[in-house]
Amino acid sequence: MSLIERARRVLPGGVNSPVRAFRGVGGDPVFVKGADGAYLETEDGRRLIDYIGSYGPMIFGHRPPEVTAAIAEALQHSTTFGAPTRAEVELAERICSAFPAMEMVRLVNSGTEATMSALRLARAATGRNKIIKLAGCYHGHADAYLVAAGSGAATLGVPSSPGVPTAVTADTLVAPYNDLDAVQALFQRHGDDIAMLIVEPIAGNMGLVPPLPGYLEALREVTRRHGALLVFDEVMTGFRVAWGGAQTLFDIEPDLTTLGKVIGGGLPIGAYGGRRDLMQQVAPAGPVYQAGTLSGNPLAVAAGSTALRLLASNHDQIYDRLEATSAKLCGGLEDIARRHGIPFTCQRQGSMIGIFFTDGPVERIDHVDASNLERFSRVFHVLLKAGIHLPPSAYETLFVSGAHGEEEINKTFEAFDQALAAEA
């Protein structure tokens, strides 16, 4: 019996997270045995160049020695305490020092937990119930966020998963990402009832879709004018696109921010934080209850603190290298597609990349829907056979790490050229 057959007997779909099942591209998933630098080692003995990077946290590549050493050191003291530690205070201090809008922070265990907690806090702080999310942005699997837009451009959300009561999503309003008119229409209709607007400042869950010029600034203005909170979901972008996240790139201070990925150095972690007056409402300082036995887990804190220390020590040079490598990759893929006469768009923000088989630009989820998803699937499998492992969906983002060098980029170009030659 194959490994995937064994997995399907005991795991739903054979996986512990849906995108891993290869439903977006067909076929069976790759089972990973280990990883090092820019490479994955599979259970069947292949060595693949990895552009998943655990969807963001592996900014230095897999198994950076300083991070693995920090985990080993922390392990000498135990795996969890259920009590405060000096290390979690130091990690919180470093996060707050990097994000001017985060005066206080609460560590949690995942991005979903962070966004769920931010939602509760926003409702408590404003005394309002309705929220706005943008179609194509993903904020975890909490019920209130699992909504799909209806037929209108600005609409009430309807549940997008069985098991989510309509009553739970009745207060979730949905507008297309990058569509300011739709957001303004929602505020005109429901402004006095809206507690918050949550957004990925750089969308990374429909491929990579940057905000249009002025869009985030306008969201800041309209939320402030109507007394709603602006929440930046920087679980992916925090410390990935810049030292202080996307908000420092665009010089915008949200009221609340959610983080994950890089701040755990590859181990499970999340965080939410913001203005002191808001965060002081979280228990035990205030009445908004949120708790977690494993929050501030010492292994995750050790890994994350070390990753952030490495970034802090020379972040300009590190981000410059990631920028250069990612720009070379994106530009080279576009050149290859152009040479073969294949409609193709590569969008990028720092070391996050989205590839779409369509004439660009891609600005909203419906643009991704309209791209050539079948071609993406075919190209994905040609690349995989050639030793290049992309995220297995046209709706996911590629991540470049500091371990990706000229050799890995050139091998990717060769494989992409072969794949498009078969498509032309």
pTM (two decimals): 0.95
Q: How many folded domains does the chain comprise?
A: 2
Mean pLDDT of the chain: 95
Backbone dihedral angles phi then psi of residue 352, each to the nearest 5 degrees: -105, 130
What is the per-residue DSSP string for 387-419? TEE--SSTTS-EE--TT--HHHHHHHHHHHHHH
Where a domain ends, among 294, 313, 332?
Answer: 313
Strand order from edge to edge, sheet including 398-399: 345-349, 352-356, 398-399
Q: Count CB neighbours of 414 within 10 A.
A: 14
Contact 165, 136 (CB under 8 A): no
Backbone angles phi, psi at 36, to 5 degrees: -155, 130
The neighbouring-strand residues paired with 130 are 194
Angle, CA of 170, 172 and 173, to the nearest 5°? 110
Residue type, 91: L
> φ and ψ at 210, to 5 degrees?
-75, 160
Single residue among 285, 313, 341 that ends a domain in this structure: 313
- In sequence order, the β-bridge partners of residue 258 are 233, 272
Q: Could you write out the DSSP letters of every residue in 249-317? A: HTT---SEEEEEGGGGTTSS-EEEEE-HHHHTTBTTTSSB----TTTT-HHHHHHHHHHHHHHHHSHHH
- In the three-class reduction of DSSP (H, G, I as helix; E, B as strand; rest coil), residue 401 is classed as coil
- Contact at 8 Å (CB) between 150 and 156? yes
Per-residue confidence (pLDDT) for residue 151, from 0 to 100: 38
Token pair in block for residue 301: 């804190």
Report angle CA 87, 72, 307 to the nearest 5 degrees: 55
- State how far the Cα of 138 lies from the Cα of 172, in Å rounded to an integer: 13
SS3 244: coil
Provide the residue range defining the domain that includes 258.
65-313
- What is the reported pLDDT for 158? 61
Query: Residue type for 272, please?
Result: Y
Q: What tens digit of pLDDT does each residue of 10-21 get?
A: 999 999 998 899
Q: Kindly report the CATH number assigned to the domain that includes residue 106.
A: 3.40.640.10
76 and 54 assigned to the same domain: no
Contact of 335 with 362, CB cutoff 8 Å? no
Residue 348's domain is classified under what CATH number?
3.90.1150.10
Residue 405 and residue 292 in one domain: no
For the chain, helix (H) and strand (E) counts, in that order, are 14, 17
> Would you state the pLDDT for residue 315?
84
Dig out the tokens for 338 from the structure. 């152009």
Can you say how many angstroms the Cα of residue 414 is from the centroid of all Cα atoms in its chain?
Answer: 28
DSSP 31: P
Q: What is the pLDDT of residue 163?
A: 85
What is the structure's pLDDT at 157?
56
Do 148 and 120 have their domain in common? Answer: yes
69-97 pLDDT per residue, tens: 999 999 999 999 999 999 999 999 999 99
Question: Do 51 and 74 share a domain, yes or no?
Answer: no
Query: What is the chain's Cα-based Rg?
Result: 21
| 394 shares a domain with 340 | yes
| C-alpha–C-alpha distance, residues 263 and 56, integer Å | 10
pLDDT of residue 267: 97
Shared domain check, 108 and 50 = no
Are residues 249 and 104 both part of a single domain?
yes
Alpha carbon distance 190, 378 (integer Å) = 44
201 and 76 in a common domain? yes
pLDDT digits (tens, 9 = 90+) for 333-381: 999 999 999 999 999 999 999 999 999 899 999 999 999 999 999 999 9
Q: How far apart are CA 122 and CA 54, in angstroms?
A: 29
φ, ψ for residue 195, nearest 5 deg:
-80, -40
Query: Quick one: 147 and 293 in the same domain?
Result: yes
Q: Both tokens of residue 132?
A: 């706005």
Residue 220 sits in the same domain as residue 307: yes
**Residue for token pair 């983002």:** 397
Q: How many CB atoms lie within 10 A of CB 213?
A: 8
Instruction: For residues 169 and 303, state if they share a domain.
Output: yes
What CA–CA distance (Å, rounded) separates 356 from 263? Answer: 29
Considering only CA atoms, which of 132, 73, 108, 161 is closest in space to residue 272?
108
Alpha-carbon distance of 162 to 157, in angstroms, equals 14
Q: Which two tokens stand for residue 90?
A: 């130091």
List of the chain residues with pLDDT < 70: 149-158
Q: Are residues 205 and 283 in the same domain?
A: yes
Helices 406-423, 315-340: crossing angle, 10 deg rounding: 20
Could you give the 3-state DSSP secondary structure of residue 353? strand
Active site members: 138, 233, 261
Using CA atoms, how far apart are residues 257 and 273, in angstroms rounded to an integer? Answer: 5
Domain ends where: 313, 338, 359?
A: 313
Give the span between the Cα atoms of 134 and 127, in whole angstroms.
22
